[in-house]
């Protein structure tokens, strides 16, 4: 067996040539450079990962056969990808041995088709033009994104961006809102509309979490340049739930570079966040300041007409009808979150179909109670303090006073107890807000109130009165 890798590769090529089309040979084999033959492993250089994927997908049997024949029974093939990096000088070499897939000693099972693998995970091989899976959900369109006061600005900005991606002043477009108010839906709609209007554009939807996971893997495998290259090739990049990058310095850093490159090249960036950008903790300032370059548009809680339209649309889509008073009841009672609204609707529609019974207000009430009221949401400590003070007819300043007056102490303890139950604030922060007390005082207060609730019927009734107002807010 000779050690001459060039000679061996030429022998392989002569067989390959007879077994593939002329076009296939030109496209996929002529650009391969044989690099070495060490320990029965023939290493070849290819220009992109896409090449590797394509070769693996279409020519694996043929490659296996020629390697066995000319390298030997134990022959293996390894790839070295030399990526041409257009925005940096020279080339970047990524040793294939560090790749997650296919390290490809021939004869091992073919790599899994990637869904969130490390590199160019969205690439669909076998097509002439490099195409990616945009990861867009066809169900989230502009057509079924009901327009209302609460979303008008964000929606029209989205339409504008889809019409002229990268060209409007809305770059990046940052969409922010609390959960369940339509961020994900809207950004998919923008992506779909962009593709419809500009089929030639490469659109990619990615969750920030996915971006981060991919980055960590790429980094581990020394594939950072490839990771960046891939994202820099996108025309319209949609990153959902950017708050997930909080505290993830590495991903933020890499995203910063991608962001700059895309923006400099008039590519469109769309970002969603569950907080107003400047309220994002653990996010680099230089990234936050980039977000301000474009437009930040929020989605607010849906107003009554929008809620009613969403309900009617949903019924219409499903060919179901509810009595008007039921529609009104739902719209009047599920106010803060469209996801919850949909949950209630789905449940009611299922029940009405299953039981073949008309939907009644009672039934609706039960479902709403189950769906909405039980999910305790966060209420601010400030709101709780104000409600408690309201009840006892004292001011928050009085409540904060360092006094042993029974009424004040009681109000403070109740406020602490309710804050622990309904807010996400820490004991320390609750204490701070309730008269600069420490966390041990809050702990003690909670215990005192819990004891009194068990033993004092009158207190319990009074407490229930106060709690009602706060629970309604939650």
Measured from the CB of residue 170, what is the shortest distance to ligand ADP in angstroms?
Answer: 19
> DSSP for 420-461?
HHH----HHHHHHHTTS--HHHHHHHHHHHHHHHHH-HHHHH
State yes or no: residue 48 binds ligand ADP (CB under 6 A): no
Measured from the CB of residue 241, what is the shortest distance to ligand ADP in angstroms?
Answer: 7
Based on CB atoms, which residue is closest to ligand ADP, 91 or 139? 139
Token pair for residue 376?
């305790």
Intra-chain end-to-end CA distance of the chain, in Å: 77
Token pair for residue 51?
């090449």
Based on CB atoms, which residue is closest to ligand ADP, 164 or 342? 342
Question: Which of 83, 94, 136, 338 is close enough to bind ligand ADP by CB under 6 A?
Answer: 338
Binding mask 131-160 for ligand ADP (x = CB under 6 A): ---------x---xxx----x---------
CA Rg, the chain, in Å?
30
> CB burial class (10 A; 0-12, 13-18, 19+) of residue 137?
middle
From the list Mg ion, ligand ADP, none, partner contacted by residue 310 (C-beta under 5 to 8 A by kind): ligand ADP
From the list Mg ion, ligand ADP, none, partner contacted by residue 34 (C-beta under 5 to 8 A by kind): none
From the list Mg ion, ligand ADP, none, partner contacted by residue 179 (C-beta under 5 to 8 A by kind): ligand ADP
Measured from the CB of residue 331, what is the shortest distance to Mg ion in angstroms?
Answer: 22
Q: Is the torsion defined by CA of 278, 282, 283, 285 positive or negative?
A: positive
Q: Is the torsion defined by CA of 297, 302, 308, 311 positive or negative?
A: positive
On whether the CB atoms of residues 154 and 299 are closer than 8 A, the answer is yes
| Rounded Cα gap, residues 174 and 273, in angstroms | 7
Based on CB atoms, which residue is closest to Mg ion, 183 or 290? 183
Token pair for residue 446?
């909670």
Residue with tokens 């079924």: 144
Measured from the CB of residue 297, what is the shortest distance to ligand ADP in angstroms?
Answer: 13
DSSP E strands in 221-360: the ranges are 236-240, 268-273, 295-298
Based on CB atoms, which residue is closest to Mg ion, 176 or 392? 176
Taking each helix axis as running N to C, give the angle between helix 183-197 and helix 152-163, from 0 to 180 degrees, rounded to the nearest 10: 30
Based on CB atoms, which residue is closest to Mg ion, 151 or 232? 151
Residues 174 to 213: which contact ligand ADP by CB under 6 A? 177, 179-185
**In DSSP terms, which residues pair with 79 in a beta bridge?**
44
Based on CB atoms, which residue is closest to Mg ion, 184 or 419? 184
Based on CB atoms, which residue is closest to ligand ADP, 75 or 182? 182
Binding mask 176-205 for Mg ion (x = CB under 5 A): -------xx---------------------
Based on CB atoms, which residue is closest to ligand ADP, 149 or 465? 149
Binding mask 133-172 for Mg ion (x = CB under 5 A): ----------------------------------------
From the list ligand ADP, Mg ion, none, partner contacted by residue 75 (C-beta under 5 to 8 A by kind): none
> DSSP for 186-251?
HHHHHHHHHHHH-TTS-EEEEEHHHHHHHHHHHHHTT-HHHHHHHHHT-SEEEEE-GGGGTT-HHH
Based on CB atoms, which residue is closest to ligand ADP, 166 or 302? 302
Measured from the CB of residue 172, what is the shortest distance to Mg ion in angstroms?
Answer: 17
| Rounded Cα gap, residues 368 and 326, in angstroms | 12
Cis peptide preceding 172, ω within 30 of 0: yes
Please give the residue ranges that form the binding site for ligand ADP (CB under 6 A). Answer: 140, 144-146, 151, 177, 179-185, 310, 338-339, 342
Please give the residue ranges that form the binding site for Mg ion (CB under 5 A). Answer: 183-184
């Amino acid at each position: 067996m000779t050690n001459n890798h060039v000679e061996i590769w030429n022998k392989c090529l002569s067989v390959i040539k007879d077994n593939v089309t002329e076009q296939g040979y030109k496209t996929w084999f002529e650009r391969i450079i044989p690099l070495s033959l060490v320990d029965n492993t023939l290493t070849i250089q290819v220009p992109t990962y896409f090449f590797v994927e394509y070769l693996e997908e279409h020519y694996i049997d043929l490659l296996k056969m020629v390697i066995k024949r000319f390298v030997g029974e134990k022959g293996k093939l390894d790839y070295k990808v030399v990526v041409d990096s257009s925005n940096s000088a020279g080339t970047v070499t990524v040793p294939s041995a560090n790749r997650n897939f296919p390290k490809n000693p021939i004869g091992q099972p073919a790599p899994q088709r990637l869904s969130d693998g490390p590199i160019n995970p969205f690439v669909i091989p076998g097509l002439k033009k490099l195409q990616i899976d945009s990861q867009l959900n066809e169900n989230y369109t502009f057509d079924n994104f009901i327009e209302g006061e609460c979303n008008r600005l964000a929606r029209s900005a989205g339409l504008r961006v889809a019409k002229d991606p990268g060209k409007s002043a809305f770059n990046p477009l940052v969409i922010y809102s609390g959960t369940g108010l339509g961020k994900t839906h809207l950004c998919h709609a923008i992506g779909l509309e962009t593709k419809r209007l500009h089929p030639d554009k490469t659109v990619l939807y990615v969750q920030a979490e996915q971006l981060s996971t991919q980055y960590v893997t790429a980094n581990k495998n020394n594939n950072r340049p490839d990771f960046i290259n891939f994202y820099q090739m996108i025309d319209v990049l949609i990153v959902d739930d950017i708050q997930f990058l909080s505290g993830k310095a590495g991903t933020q850093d890499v995203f910063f570079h991608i962001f700059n490159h895309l923006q400099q090249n008039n590519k469109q960036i769309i970002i969603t966040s569950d907080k107003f950008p400047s309220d994002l903790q653990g996010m680099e300032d230089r990234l936050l300041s980039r977000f301000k370059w474009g437009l930040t548009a929020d989605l607010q809680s849906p107003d009554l007409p929008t809620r009613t339209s969403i309900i009617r649309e949903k019924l219409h889509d499903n060919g179901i009808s509810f009595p008007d008073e039921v529609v009104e009841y739902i719209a009047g009672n599920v106010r803060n979150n469209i996801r919850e609204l949909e949950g209630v609707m789905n449940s009611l529609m299922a029940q009405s179909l299953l039981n073949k019974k008309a939907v009644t207000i009672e039934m609706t009430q039960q479902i709403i109670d189950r769906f909405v009221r039980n999910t305790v949401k966060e209420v601010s400590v400030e709101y709780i303090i104000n409600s408690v003070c309201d009840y006892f007819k004292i001011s928050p300043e009085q409540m904060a006073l360092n006094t042993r007056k029974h009424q004040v102490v009681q109000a403070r303890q109740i406020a602490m107890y309710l804050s622990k139950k309904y807010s996400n604030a820490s004991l320390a922060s609750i204490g701070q807000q309730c008269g600069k007390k420490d966390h041990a005082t809050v702990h003690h207060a909670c215990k005192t109130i819990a004891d009194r609730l068990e033993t004092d019927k009158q207190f319990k009734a009074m407490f229930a009165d106060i709690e009602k107002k706060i629970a309604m807010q939650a």
